[in-house]
Structure formats: structure tokens, C-alpha cells
Amino acid sequence: MKFLGAVALSLLLPLSLAAQAPPTRGATLQWTDEQPGVFYNVYRFAGPCADATAFDKLNAAPVTSKSYADAGLAPGHYCYVVTAQTGDLESEHSNRAAAAAKPFAPRDVTIVVEIVLKTNGEVLAKMKASPSHAPIDPR
């Protein structure tokens, strides 16, 4: 709240902040606000919201929309808050919203099965195959 003479000015905080973590290891934030002429600041804490103590501001330039994409997150838990700002007046933090960035699943995994047929210690046939069942090394 800022005092100008005997008049106190304050901004309402943004409402209904929600976070989603898409499979691209980022977070998409959305909130509601009906105040004209404001921009927003987005803050993040790396960890669960229950442990959040200090938040880091993410945006260098004012956010003018009611959404924000935080990309390139390492796997883990994140907590977000948003404030409304006009001039040098900034609101209190919005509600907290949590997002979890999951690790990517391993890619290009190949399973190779090797079959060896022996009779009396003598190798009769050897074959390696991949999941497509196509022989990859018939020996």
C-alpha cells in the first residue's frame, strides 16, 4: 500500500493462479484479474509450496497478459506466485500454485536378445534379434 497524502492506494492481488506442467518440462501459469492498466510480475520458488520462503522474479519485462510460460525447467517441484503492478505500486502475492516438472522417459531404448543353440557343447546356431523381431546379427 502506498500513501499519497491522506489517501491510501493499493492494488488487488491477481486471483485464481493455476499452474500446469506440460510434458515439455515447463510450467504454464494462468490467473484472473479485472484491474485495468496493470501488468504482472511472476515469481518462482524451486521446491514444494509448503517449503517456499523466498521467490525469484522471472520476468525482466512487464507481463501484460494473464498467463506466463516458464520453459526449460529441470526435473523437480516448483511454486509460483504473481503480483499486479502499476507504476511503483505492487500488490501482495497471489495464491501459490504448484507445478512438477517430470524427467523425460528414456528414448531409443533397444533390447537385444541373443539365442544360442548348443548340442554336446557345440554351438549349432546363434542369433541376435531386436524388438521388431528382425534378425540383426544372424551367426
**pLDDT by residue (tens digit) across 5-21?**
444 445 555 666 777 66
* pLDDT: which is higher, 72 or 51: 51
35 band by pLDDT with thresholds 50, 70 and 90: confident
Q: What is the pLDDT of residues 66-110, one digit of tens each?
A: 999 998 888 899 999 999 999 888 999 999 999 988 877 777 666
Say yes or no to pLDDT of 118 above 70: yes
Distances (CA, A) of 44 to 69, 79, 111: 12, 6, 41
Segment 51-76 mean pLDDT: 92
CATH numbers and ranges of domains, the chain: 2-101 (2.60.40.10), 106-139 (no CATH)
CA distance linking residue 86 with residue 128, whole number of Å: 68
What the block records as the C-alpha cell of 117 is 543353440
Tell me if 40 sits within 8 A of 62, measured CB to CB: yes
pTM of the model: 0.67
